[in-house]
Amino acid sequence: MAEPQHRREQDSGALTVLIADDSRAVRAIMVRILAGAGFRTMEAADGSEALAVAQQDPPDLFLLDVDMPRMDGLATIRALKQRPQLADIPVIFLTARVDGDAAARGLEEGARDYIRKPCHPQELVARVQTLTRLAAQDRELQHRMNQLQQQSTVDALTGLKNRRWLDTHMANLTTTAPEGSQLGALLLDIDHFKHVNDEYGHAAGDVVLQIAAKRLDNAASGRRVVRWGGEEFMLIIENPTPPQDEEVARAVREAIGRTPMVVGPQLSLHVKASGGYARGAISEFRDIAKAADDALYRAKETGRDRLVIDGQ
């Protein structure tokens, strides 16, 4: 395997190009051109070597010769697309062929561009610079999209998933779960939360919600807890098994009020919660949520700080 000696010799902060070509002379020319333009380079004599090098040290761009022994450029790009770590790295094909068939096939397989050999040094640098810049812009755009997606499905105050996320999750679960799959839903409401806000201020109320969310998440043992809205939270139990699921629901509800909440330097509050629990077919989630809400209402009507189970 060709050693990536050029990478060690060049600026560690530079973008890296992996050159895969069976001609040592071609590789040497491209290394000299790209190094002069500020890029780091790695070398491989064929596609299999390129894959091995890239797995250990992913580059920012591949320059792949179409015609190589053992594993040519077309086979290499297909293999790259099968590796999540490498699939999105841009590829430029190198070809000495005068017809356009190889270039067209390469573009169909996912290459971003192609260069005919021999190429002018300025053209090589310009094409590599353009593609690495576009790839960086794509990564930044994807990062921002991921951030927006995260913000839209996570409750900013508690860090729990929110109701929008739950709607999407349930839609997916409904279509992927085996027919007849069951679901349990525990709906919790912090007792006398309005009094907390009125007596101690909304900042204290926010701290109560944050502490409650953390206690619920810890007690849920990997099950999903979402902020349903206001001072309400929902625990989802997939494939519930009576009566164990009811015991889980009780333990999660009790976790909120097990110890006082330290809300401020000189303020500790004994906070309790009421809960309603219901189960049913995953496909009937709206009905399950309504039944849990009705059970929660009965818990509040009968004294609060308790769990009411639908149908009991």
Percent of the chain with pLDDT over 70: 92
What is the value of pTM for the model shown?
A: 0.59
- The answer on pLDDT for 5 being more than 50 is no
Q: Which residue has the higher pLDDT, 4 or 164?
A: 164
Out of 3-7, 54-58, 99-103, 226-230, pick the least confident: 3-7
Q: What is the CATH number of the domain that holds 11?
A: 3.40.50.2300
199 catalytic? Reply is no
- The answer on pLDDT for 4 being more than 50 is no
- Amino acid 20 reads A
Tell me: do 236 and 96 sit in the same domain: no
Distance CA 89, CA 194 (A): 53
Q: Which tens digit of pLDDT belongs to each residue from 142-159?
A: 778 766 666 688 999 999
Q: How many domains does the chain have?
A: 2
Tell me: do 12 and 96 sit in the same domain: yes
Out of 178-182, 214-218, 303-307, pick the least confident: 178-182
Band the pLDDT of 98: cuts 50, 70, 90. Answer: low
Catalytic residue among 3, 9, 109, 231: 231
- Within a domain: residue 268? yes
Report whether the peptide linkage leading into residue 118 is cis, meaning its omega lies within 30 degrees of zero: yes
What the block records as the tokens of 21 is 């070509």
Q: Which tens digit of pLDDT belongs to each residue from 230-253?
A: 999 999 999 999 999 999 999 999
Q: Name 281's Cβ contacts closer than 8 Å, sequence gap at least 6.
A: 180, 181, 182, 183
pLDDT of residue 105: 78
- The answer on pLDDT for 273 being more than 60 is yes
Tell me: do 48 and 179 sit in the same domain: no
Using alpha carbons, select from 43, 112, 102 the residue that is nearest to residue 81: 112
Domain with 123 in it: 5-149
- Within a domain: residue 297? yes
Q: Which tens digit of pLDDT belongs to each residue from 36-69?
A: 999 999 999 999 999 999 999 999 999 999 888 8
What mean pLDDT comes out for the span 201-209? 96
- Within a domain: residue 300? yes
Tell me: do 114 and 167 sit in the same domain: no
- Within a domain: residue 155? no
